[in-house]
Amino acid sequence: MLRVLEGKDYNDMSRIAANMIFAQITLQPGCVLGLATGSTPIGTYNHLVECYKKGDLDFSQVTSVNLDEYRGLNGTNDQSYRYFMNEHLFHHVNIKPENTHVPDGTNPDAVKECGRYDQLIETLGGVDLQLLGLGNNGHIGFNEPDDNFEKGTHCVNLTESTIKANSRFFSSMEEVPTQAYTMGIGNILQAKKILLIVSGTAKADIVRETFTGPITPRVPASILQLHKDVILVGDKAALSKL
């Protein structure tokens, strides 16, 4: 089932998304949150930090698992997703560091690392609420357009368009990682609830394709049509063609 919530602008959309996560933590203090990185969730995290600082939100029992991490980057690298999460959320709230999980980009053994992460998610009892952004090509996590849906955590070769999109964060193209560890489509679909956030006119076409087009691995996010509980939160611009 798909529920669509529209915000007036990016800030309003971020507030609505934060309220969904706020409600999840309030109703289930020991919940497992699946978290995402990228520019879209920053506003959502800012709102959650504000709620915590006001004394309205307690992260002390929350566990988090992140969708992905660049292969080859350690958590102290300012372009790693561990660093991103520390900067935008973890270091500003009372979540226990040992309860925050991100794939280990420094593990050179892809099979071992992916197996470890799948096992971790299973041990935690799965994800209660999974936050997702949406790539311009329909990717969720780093599940890029492909000929089939990858089920579990895997090592992915990033597409040229994704590498190019990420290059704005690095001083040269040579520094941009070309691979990442990412949760698979199967991991994402097993989440009890999915919260997809989108912002801006540039996302309008892919939002429409994701939810009104065919289910195909060429548009990885289209698989969300099969999930029983998806909340799509977007600003007016991103939802304009839905």
CA distance 204 to 242: 7
- Closest by CA to 188, choosing from 225, 157, 213, is 225
Q: Which of 23, 17, 24, 3 is nearest to 129 (CA)?
A: 24
Q: Output DSSP code: residue 41.
A: T
Distance, in Å, from the CA atom of 207 to the CA atom of 188, rounded to the nearest integer, reads: 18
The answer to whether the beta carbons of residues 156 and 89 sit under 8 Å apart is no
Q: Can you say whether residue 215 is alpha, beta or left, with left for phi > 0 and alpha for psi between -120 and 50 degrees?
A: beta
Reported in sequence order, the residue ranges of the chain that DSSP labels E, i.e. its strands, are 2-7, 32-35, 63-66, 68-70, 100-101, 129-132, 154-157, 179-182, 193-198, 230-235
Catalytic (active-site) positions: 68, 137, 139, 144
Q: Is 161 helix (H, G, I), strand (E, B) or coil?
A: helix
